[in-house]
Amino acid sequence: MRGFSTGLLFGIILGAAGFWYVQKKANEHPEAQARYEQSAAQLGSSASQAAGNFSDALRAKLDTLDLRSDEISDELTRNGKIFRRKAQDIGDQAVNSDTDARAIAAIKARFAADATLSASDLSAGCSQGHASLSGTVVSTDDLGRAIAIALDTEGVRDVTSTIGVKPKT
C-alpha cells in the first residue's frame, strides 16, 4: 500500500509540473493562442454555413419536385398515391433487371442512411426504371424526402408512392 501511495503522490507532482510547464509556454506565445482561437471560430462558421447550404439545396430540390407538405397532402387526398417523374428525359435507356436490382439496393441503403426515415417501415421495388415505394412515415415532409431519395437514384425514371402518413402518437 505504501508503494501505491508513493507512486500516486509522485504522479500528482509530475502532472502538476507538466501542467505548469505547458501553461508557461502557452503564455510565452499569445499570438499562437490567438491564431488557434481565430481558426476555431472560422471552422465553426464554415461548418454552420455548409449545413445551411445543404438545407437550402434540399429545400429547393423538394420545391422543384413539388414535394412540399401541402402538395403531398393534397395529392394523397385526391389520388391516394404520389407519382413523380424525373425532370430530365431519360430517353430509350436500356433498362434491365441488374439496373433495377441496383436501384432497389441504392434506395434501401439511402433510406437506411437517412436519419429521419425508418428503413424498416419502408419498402422499395423497381421494374424497368419505374420505382414503387410503400410503407409508412410520420410526416408528409418524410414522405417527400423518401420520394426525392428514390428519384435521385441512378436507374430510376419515375416513382409511384403509396406510402402512408401515420404521425407518432
pLDDT per position as a tens digit, 26-83: 777 777 777 777 877 787 777 778 777 777 777 777 777 777 788 888 888 888 887 8
CA dihedral 66, 122, 133, 60 (to 10 degrees): 20
Please check whether residue 60 lies inside any domain of the structure.
no
Could you tell me if 135 and 79 lie in one domain?
yes
Please check whether residue 61 lies inside any domain of the structure.
no
Under DSSP, the state recorded for 52 is H
Evaluate the CA torsion angle 83, 90, 99, 148 in order and state its sign.
Answer: negative
- A 10 A CB-CB count for 145 gives 21
Could you tell me if 81 and 15 lie in one domain?
no
The partner residues of 161 in beta bridges, in order of sequence, read 82, 133
Could you tell me if 145 and 77 lie in one domain?
yes
Tell me the per-residue pLDDT of 87-98, one tens digit each, with 9 for 90 and over: 554 444 545 678
SS3 category, 116? coil
Could you tell me if 81 and 161 lie in one domain?
yes
Could you tell me if 88 and 113 lie in one domain?
yes
Please check whether residue 62 lies inside any domain of the structure.
no
Confidence (pTM) = 0.55
The partner residues of 134 in beta bridges, in order of sequence, read 123
> Looking at the 3D structure of the chain, how many domains does it have?
2
Parallel, antiparallel or unpaired: strands 158-161 and 82-85:
antiparallel
Please check whether residue 86 lies inside any domain of the structure.
yes
Could you tell me if 136 and 160 lie in one domain?
yes
Contact 144, 163 (CB under 8 A): no
Segments forming the whole domain that contains residue 47: 2-55
The partner residues of 132 in beta bridges, in order of sequence, read 125, 160
Residue 117 grid cell:
426515415
Tell me the per-residue pLDDT of 103-134, one tens digit each, with 9 for 90 and over: 999 999 999 998 888 888 999 999 988 999 99
Could you tell me if 44 and 94 lie in one domain?
no
Could you tell me if 36 and 115 lie in one domain?
no
Could you tell me if 45 and 82 lie in one domain?
no
Nearest to 92 by CA among 54, 119, 129: 129
Could you tell me if 81 and 158 lie in one domain?
yes
